[in-house]
């Protein structure tokens, strides 16, 4: 007689991964570290399987952030995944590559550098960190000037449009600077230069202009802001500077619109941030901040350490960070050059036009983005009487597409838009497919009862509430419709902030 043994008694190394006791039973707790170890294959499988339920990054059209790089660059990234960037003495080549990136980007943005002069800038985790550093430099410079003049320096403010990305609100709150926002209005979703400069006062540390609004990709008019500030600074004797948040546009404008003056060609632009991980074409985790000159970055913000080897200047919020993204950025800059970046951005722009024209052909949407700007298409429904943008976003998810719907900020919050961001890896085939799928979703929605039918549109002859046997109230059709609409509105409102980065 052959006695079978319990699977747990046998050698685990011969078990099928899925049938091993580690994978076939649940983890002891999701929120506490387990007492015992498990084999590496089991740990891998458990995590891999749960991650399969995440969305597909390449179909995530909500994000500006890179989801694909060439295999050669993937290899370089994996080879440097164990290098801490801050160990500059140990990894001098990596440090040198970062400095080369800073210089290449500063030249791209027309920093006024002499032949042998090096640029002033730093690699960061993303544009948010870059903006915190730029904001701190402005605050410190303004405070130093006010102190020297014997004036109060406790109420700094910054002027932005209400369309700024949340990182500016973070900067304002974390570093105690008042954020004075220029409101938007229907049909105009960027900062109005006239209103912005009007709001500038003696406590303004800078005006922040966005090259590529997160909401609709539109470039703010930095040249106009510069010219208005020039006049105001002359009249008042103030020296209010400009920071350009070129998180997305910094790697688009130099290639698609080289004549557009938005950067250090304008004298009041003192610092610029750009996300390497957006149109800089690198995976998440890299941003850049560059200053016009050394004088624009107060020396007291730079820390000097020597315990990792020689003297090292650092100006970052975090100490340790990976080196891979810096190496990835250097790869993209030398691999593509001006020619390659121009080619890629032109292709993105053409694909954005394919999506835009496809949507226009349906006759159902207003296009809220501009042809000049970040390659994206922001659009809203012309007719909201039966369905809204949140339903379209939900239904597209069934096809695998992640397309966010969101409301505009003050004073245009009654406008809801859908936004499709076109990145390098979004091919023409996918652009055409997306348009077809949106068309299908619209047809499906037309066949569904409206979730938004206002009571006024319902027939007036609906029966009244009746009380049926054992005291239960049977709702009229109108009451049922109202409660469905209420429930739906709550659901929609709860989701308003989805996925805008
Ligand atoms: C205009 C703008 N500024 C700043 C940010 C923040 O960038 P990051 O995600 O690189 O921190 C974003 C992100 O989308 C943005 O669109």
Q: Which atom of ligand 1 is nearest to the CA of 164?
A: 1
Question: Tokens 């500038």 identify what position?
Answer: 200
pLDDT tens digit string along 21-50? 888 888 888 899 999 999 999 999 999 999
| Distance from residue 240's CA to the centre of ligand 1 (Å) | 23
The reply to whether ligand 1 has any atom less than 6 angstroms from the CB of 248 is yes
Q: Which atom of ligand 1 is nearest to the CA of 212?
A: 1
pTM flag (> 0.85): yes
Give the model's pLDDT for residue 23. 81
| Distance from residue 67's CA to the centre of ligand 1 (Å) | 16
Alpha helices in 284-400, H assignment, sequence order: 324-362, 389-397
The reply to whether ligand 1 has any atom less than 6 angstroms from the CB of 500 is no
| Distance from residue 20's CA to the centre of ligand 1 (Å) | 44
The reply to whether ligand 1 has any atom less than 6 angstroms from the CB of 167 is yes
Low-confidence stretches of the chain (pLDDT < 50) are: 458-472, 484-485, 487-489, 491-499
Give the model's pLDDT for residue 494. 43
Nearest in space to 498 (alpha carbons), one of 368, 393, 365:
393
Q: What is the CATH architecture of 362-494?
A: Alpha-Beta Complex (3.90)
pLDDT tens digit string along 247-256? 999 999 999 9
Give the model's pLDDT for residue 19. 84
Q: Is 252 helix (H, G, I), strand (E, B) or coil?
A: coil
Tokens of 123: 């690699």
Give the model's pLDDT for residue 9. 61
Sign of the C-alpha dihedral computed for residues 479, 485, 489 and 495 taken in this order: positive
Q: How far lies 2's CA from each of 11, 16, 410, in Å?
A: 18, 22, 77
Give the model's pLDDT for residue 495. 41
pLDDT tens digit string along 79-117? 999 999 988 889 999 999 999 999 999 999 999 999 889
Pocket test for ligand 1, best of 165, 262, 288 (most atoms within 8 A of CB): 165
The reply to whether ligand 1 has any atom less than 6 angstroms from the CB of 127 is yes
Measured distance CA(247)–CA(263) in Å, rounded: 13
Residue nearest to atom 7 of ligand 1 (CA): 127
CATH no., domain 7-54: 4.10.280.50
Nearest in space to 221 (alpha carbons), one of 249, 191, 257, 242:
191
- Contacts with 47 (C-beta within 8 Å, 6 or more apart), sequence order: none
Q: Which atom of ligand 1 is nearest to the CA of 278?
A: 10
pLDDT tens digit string along 309-341? 556 678 999 999 999 999 999 999 999 999 999
Q: What is the CATH architecture of 81-113+121-296+323-336?
A: 3-Layer(aba) Sandwich (3.40)
Cβ of 117: how many Cβ atoms within 10 Å? 13
Pocket test for ligand 1, best of 67, 163, 167 (most atoms within 8 A of CB): 167
| Class of residue 87 by CB neighbours under 10 A (exposed 0-12, middle 13-18, buried 19+) | middle
What element of type H or E holds 207?
strand 204-210
Give the model's pLDDT for residue 281. 98
| Distance from residue 124's CA to the centre of ligand 1 (Å) | 12
pLDDT tens digit string along 408-434? 988 889 999 999 999 999 999 999 999
| Distance from residue 443's CA to the centre of ligand 1 (Å) | 35
| Distance from residue 133's CA to the centre of ligand 1 (Å) | 14
User: Any idea where the domains of the chain sit in the sequence?
Assistant: 7-54, 81-113+121-296+323-336, 362-494
């Amino acid at each position: 007689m052959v006695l079978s043994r319990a699977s747990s008694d046998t050698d685990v190394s011969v078990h099928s991964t899925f049938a091993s006791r580690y994978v076939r039973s649940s983890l002891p707790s999701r929120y506490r570290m387990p007492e015992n170890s498990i084999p590496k294959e089991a740990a891998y499988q458990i995590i891999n399987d749960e991650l399969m339920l995440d969305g597909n990054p390449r179909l995530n059209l909500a994000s500006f952030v890179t989801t694909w790089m060439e295999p050669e660059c993937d290899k370089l990234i994996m080879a440097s995944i164990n290098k801490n960037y801050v160990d500059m003495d140990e990894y001098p080549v990596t440090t040198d590559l970062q400095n080369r990136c800073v210089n290449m980007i500063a030249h791209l943005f027309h920093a006024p550098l002499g032949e042998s002069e090096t640029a002033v800038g730093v690699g960061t985790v993303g544009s948010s960190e870059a903006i915190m550093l730029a904001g701190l430099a402005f605050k410190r410079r303004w405070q130093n000037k006010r102190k020297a003049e014997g004036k109060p320096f406790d109420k700094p403010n910054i002027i932005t449009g209400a369309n700024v990305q949340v990182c500016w609100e973070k900067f304002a709150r974390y570093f105690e600077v008042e954020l004075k926002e220029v409101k938007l209005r229907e049909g105009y979703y960027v900062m109005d230069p006239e209103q912005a400069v009007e709001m500038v006062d003696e406590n303004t540390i800078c005006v922040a202009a966005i090259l590529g609004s997160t909401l609709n990709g539109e470039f703010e008019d930095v040249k106009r802001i510069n010219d208005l500030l020039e006049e105001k600074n002359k009249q008042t004797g103030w020296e209010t500077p400009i920071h350009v948040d070129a998180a997305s546009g910094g790697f688009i404008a130099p290639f698609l619109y080289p004549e557009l003056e938005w950067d250090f060609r304008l004298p009041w632009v003192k610092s610029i941030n750009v996300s390497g991980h957006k149109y800089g074409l690198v995976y998440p985790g890299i941003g850049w901040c560059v200053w016009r000159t050394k004088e624009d970055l107060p020396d007291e913000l730079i820390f000097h350490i020597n315990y990792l080897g020689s003297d090292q200047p650092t100006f970052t919020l975090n100490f340790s960070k990976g080196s891979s993204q810096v190496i990835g950025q250097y790869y993209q800059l030398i691999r593509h050059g001006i020619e390659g970046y121009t080619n890629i951005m032109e292709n993105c722009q053409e694909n954005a036009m394919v999506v835009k024209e496809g949507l226009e052909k349906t006759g159902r949407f207003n296009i809220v983005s501009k042809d000049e700007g970040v390659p994206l298409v922001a659009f809203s429904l012309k007719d909201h009487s039966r369905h809204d943008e949140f339903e379209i976003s939900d239904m597209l998810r069934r096809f695998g597409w992640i397309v966010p719907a969101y409301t505009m900020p003050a004073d245009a919050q009654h406008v809801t838009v859908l936004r499709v961001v076109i990145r390098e890896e979004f091919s023409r085939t996918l652009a055409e497919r997306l348009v077809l799928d949106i068309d299908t979703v619209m047809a499906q929605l037309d066949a569904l009862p409206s979730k938004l039918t206002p009571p006024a549109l319902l027939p007036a002859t609906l029966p009244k509430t009746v009380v049926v046997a054992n005291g239960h109230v049977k709702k009229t059709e109108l009451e049922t419709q109202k409660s469905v609409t209420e429930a739906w509105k709550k659901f929609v409102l709860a989701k308003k902030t989805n996925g805008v980065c």
